[in-house]
Amino acid sequence: RLPNIKAVGIKTYYRLYWFLKEALPIFLVAALALFLMNKVGVLAALKVALRPVVEKWFGMPVDVVDAIVLCVARHEAAAGMLIRMADAGKLDVFQCMAAVLLTTIFVPCFANIVAMCKRVGIKTGVAMTLAMNASAFFIVGVFYWVLVFLRGVIS
């Protein structure tokens, strides 16, 4: 049996409408927050604070911090930035693998964080986000150094 095209169209319209109604304001707030953080200097301070972790633990250039921050807004934007860095020769194969893993398991996007906080409360939502980020940093660092070790063993 074929689905009713009109019913599918109506459901698609309402789901798209609901998504835009919920997600668009959150995305706009996230974009504004990132813009203001950049203008005030918070992103520069974040780069300085995360430099030891990114360079020593992840073995990546500090510019990856920009991709990490973009993950909060949209994971796809971070992926685009990482592709440009790889094409420019700033990331080797192992760094690319670790960066993709990081952007995949790092903090959920801003809309997901807000949804989590709505569902479980602000305190629990923030705690969950911090726990996810800490575990992502640990896992990615271990992953990168295992790759480095294997490169030494295989070579």
Could you report the per-residue pLDDT of 52-71, keeping only the tens digit for each? 989 999 999 988 888 887 77
Which residue type occupies 135?
Answer: S
Query: CA 54, CA 56: separation in Å to the nearest integer?
Result: 6
C-beta of residue 114 within 8 angstroms of C-beta of residue 73: no
C-beta of residue 67 within 8 angstroms of C-beta of residue 103: yes
**Which pLDDT does position 146 carry in this prediction?**
95
Q: In terms of residue numbers, what domain contains 149?
A: 5-154
Query: CA 96, CA 144: separation in Å to the nearest integer?
Result: 10
Number of domains in the chain: 1
Predicted model pTM: 0.72
Nearest to 133 by CA among 89, 68, 73, 66: 68
